[in-house]
Structure formats: C-alpha cells, structure tokens
A and B are shown apart, each in its own frame.
Chain A
Amino acid sequence: MVATSALKLAEIRWHGRGGQGVVTASNLLAQAALEDGAYFQSFPEFGAERSGAPIIAYTRISHEVIHIRSQVLEPTIVVILDATLIGRVDLLAGLQEGGAIIVNTPLSPEEMRDRLDARAFVLCTVDSTGIAQKLLGRNIPNVPMLGGLLKARPLVPQEAVLSTIQHRLSARLRGEVVRANVEAFRRAYAEARVGLLEGNICEAET
C-alpha cells in the first residue's frame, strides 16, 4: 500500500558499492535541495561500511516538512551506480508504479529495460563510469549519476547541483578535480538517455 502522504515526496534509493561515492551523491543532492529551499533527508543504510560491498543510501525531497523516519521502502526513484549489482541485489524492490530507474551503463534504455525486467518504469541510462574514467581518471560515478538523475527527474534545478558540487567538493579537492566533476555532471546530463514508459527515447538535448 502506498501511503497517500508519500505522493508529494520524491523518495530515492541509491544502490552502489563501497567506494563509489553513493552516500556523497545522496548528500550532494540533499545540499542542492537546501539551496532550492526544499526539505530533505539523506542517510545511508546503516551498517558496517566495506569497500566494494553493496551499499544503499536514501534521499527524500519534498516541498513540505518530512516527518517519516524509516528507510525508504517504496521509492519513487532507484539509482543504480553499478550495473554488476543487477541480479545480485533486489534493486527494484518496492519501486512505485511509474517510478524511475537511473542506471550507470553504456547500454540504451531499451537494452537495459530487458536486463532489468522493468516494464512499468521510466528508465534512464547514462555511462557514468565512462564519463568518470575520461574526466576524472577513476571510476567514481556518483557525480555523473546526479546528471542522469536530474535528466530523468528534475527534482532540483541544475544550477543548485552545480553550485553544490563546487561548494562541497572544493573543501576537499583540488580546483581541477572540482572543475572535472562539474564537467562530468554537465556531460552526463547531456548524454543521459531517458526511455519513457511507451518505449520512446528522448535523445540528448543540446
């Protein structure tokens, strides 16, 4: 049963592996929501963090105060940072009808739709690993995934995400790395392909 109170909410479940920046992506989105004046929550699935092990994080965004404090059990969006999790983790568990899936893959949405067996959902694919390898020299796909997420679901303005990336990452990273992340976000947004429910594909807008 979907709680009616949840409809005003965007509830995101992030799947990735330890070291890919899953929790950072969730926190960056929360910070961007703050800049947008929204309410939000961002939290990991609590447990022992291990590099390479499957990791889950959650984000909630709403324009009203968010009271619920449980893990996201019925997400409206699922973000998959690592396609090798497909078949090993129940990635679509509880995903609400009409919900969106964003996958880090060079495949097209139709190809991925078959592999995920996801008929009833909006599917967005973006080659975040490829973009990260090219621009950052490492497989840290979290920032490009934010580009894909915003392409599929404009939860917060792009400018808010960009200023958050600049602000938050500058505290820890060198200027050129921050600039590379900004570019990675922009490129991912441009290259992400969204396959609608009917199977239509919106190619990248210029």
Chain B
Amino acid sequence: MTLKNWRELRPGGVIAEPGNSTAVETGSWGVTQPLVDFGVCVHCMICWIYCPDSCFLVREGRLVGVDYDHCKGCGICAVECPKKCIVMREGARDLVLGS
C-alpha cells in the first residue's frame, strides 16, 4: 500500500472518514482465533458485547460468524461465553473459511 505524502494528508492527522478502521486488517495480529460451536450457542450475544473489535457477525438477532479479518485473537469471547461454546484455536480462520 502506498501511503499518502505530506501534501496529500489532512492537516493535523484528523480522521474525517468515520469507521475507516475497517480498512486496516488486523486479523494477522493473533495466533489463535475463536471457533464457535453453533450447535451449543444460544445466541445470548455476550461475545458480541465483550469483543473489543466488534468481530462477531450478527444477522436478525442471531450470531452467524466471526470477522477474522479484524479479530486480534484476544480471547475474551471464549472466557466470557456462558455456554463455553467458543474455543480459541490456531488455524480457526482456515478451518471456517477454508485456506
């Protein structure tokens, strides 16, 4: 990626494009990623609340997957899950999305 030069950048480093953090993929930061056992999951959304990077994907009130492009692998979801249906696993991303 070519970074903007000093003439192109917005003065003072102000970020005026809200939500542009999605442009930076942080999925490579973690060693392990969450693997959800949807057979046990009761869609209580505790993981969704705790995730600091908003990586739990929800559709119509139900957990449907994990945003592995931005998950940094902190593991708080696995710790907080009341059903213990999330485990942190090396290669979880490849397992879910295919390599």
* Contact, chains A and B (beta carbon distance below 8 A): no
Which residues from chain B sit less than 8 Å from chain A, CB to CB?
Answer: none
Which residues from chain A sit less than 8 Å from chain B, CB to CB?
Answer: none
